[in-house]
Structure 1
Amino acid sequence: MRIDVYTPVLLSLLLAVVSRPVARSLAPAQAARALTAAAVLTAGATTWALVLLTVTLVGQAPPVVADAREDGRVLPEPVPGTVAVLALALLTVAVCRVLRAVRAERATRRTLRRLCEGHPPGTELIVAASPRPQAFAVPDTPGRILVTSAMLAALRPAERRVLLAHERAHLAHRHALLVRAAGLAAAANPLLVPVRTSVAYLVERWADEQAAGAVGDRGTTARALARAALVTHSQGCALHFTDRTVPRRIAALHTTPPPHLRMIAAAILALGALPPLCAADATGDLLRLLGEVLS
């Protein structure tokens, strides 16, 4: 347990380091799925490792120590007491962060649902009268696309088709679930924030590629993305505009799509599977130690 229980943390750092190179070199769909799965597995393992470290405080409880002294036994100390207390504090913070992320996600979904109220259930496209150019994929049942009149007015007809194809790709491939899963993983384990950022970028690249395929013109798709970025007044609006990612996405559309490399995707999944295996081994060690303490 002395080594295995800390290994998920080290592997979290490794996953964070490789996430951006993977996002650049691998097909967006493949990379997004692999990184999300690895992040969820790693976050679960690191959270469980904190639980294991916290449980070692049982061996330091006054009743347990008193019983051991009466029996003349020396209690094993799997980890220092300060480490166990720190793990308890980190676990508390992780739970609070996850709860806060869940509440924020629910609030966002409620807001988007309210904006779609008053329209027939089968309506896919909802145009809202607003001077702010924005576009959203609303992941409901069924999914809807919410676009402001300002955004439609800013785009040419071919670029509007790109916009709608982009948002349809988000809905068809359930990108919101991937982003939400990566976000919760990063909330539980802040070391995975770079992975969350990579997944958010990848789902946009994925939708860009789907839109380019739907309209049959990568150049038009790149122009639509650039125009949407220029008319957007705030971050996180149309086509997930941010200063850092839009130039990369436009540049990617002017090149050939990245390849599907199964070996790299498999390596990422294997990296994500290692933390749970280490946590499972640490669990077995702790159970044996607790058996000695409580016997």
Structure 2
Amino acid sequence: MLLANIDLFIKIVESGSLTAAGREVGLSSTTVSERLAALEAHYGVVLLNRTTRAISLTEEGRTLLEGAKEVLDGVVDLETRIRFGAQTLTGPIRISAPSDLGRTLVCDAIQIFLEDHPKIRIELLLSDGYVDIVGEGIDIAMRFGAIEDSTLRVKSLGVKRRVVCAAPSYVDALGTPKVPADLKNHNCLLMRFGHKLDNSWRFGSGVSKQVVTVSGDRVANDGALVHQWCLAGFGIMLKSELDIGADIRAGRLIELLPDFASPAVPLQIMFPPARAQPRRVRAFADYLIETFERVGGLTEQT
């Protein structure tokens, strides 16, 4: 019963409420609350801070969550090896990825991986902002840029260019910027990452390095929406080459200011700070790494 209650605790955290967890496993809210209380009584600590609107992990709850996933994943791996053999992978994988990248390359990788491993269940969460990997029960997260949380385990997927681009219809109507400073006179489509507005666009390196503060009439915290706006001709955007390579090759977007290339940004895959990963997570992470090693640059076929 202890393992069952721990598993239910993880589902409460991942779903965000006792009610949602109950719906997922077919239990009433009262039963979920009673089993959570029993788990807290077993350890003699409060695991979740609960209000009428939200729940949050206590320090003890976070410690349990980190260790519990490792223990339960080990149980799932052992059961799989006994029932289906050492080569079979089964169980859930929870992934967080940027919205545009998640809808394209990651989604394609998931499709192929599931064809090879039909007993795996993958949950893909798309977000361009900060994600609490431990608090949200994420197994694998992908993010551009430097990683500030030193407790996470990180593997590099290489560095990728960010490209200034626009639709042909926008260029035909409003012209092409010749130098980065010209962007001040154009409508730029902006991303918001949490509280940070990405309106300081960087160009060049070394002595030629420059930063231009841009503005525009559309801001979103969803990279796929900014991408959609750009394709529709509403303005100029700054986007990873992974997201817009196919559009550039097909002529749906035009690269602007190619002689003032923005500094490349690292793309990284992150894991929670557990001591060991279940085989299914290691296998999918390895497949993701192989997938991105095969992805070419802006002018190559992906």
TM-score range, shorter chain: under 0.3
Of structures 1 and 2, the one scoring higher in RCO (CA 8 A, sep 6+) is: 1
Q: Which structure has greater strand proportion? A: 2
Structure having the higher Rg: 1
TM-score normalised to the size of structure 1? 0.24
Of Structure 1 and Structure 2, the greater helix share is in: 1
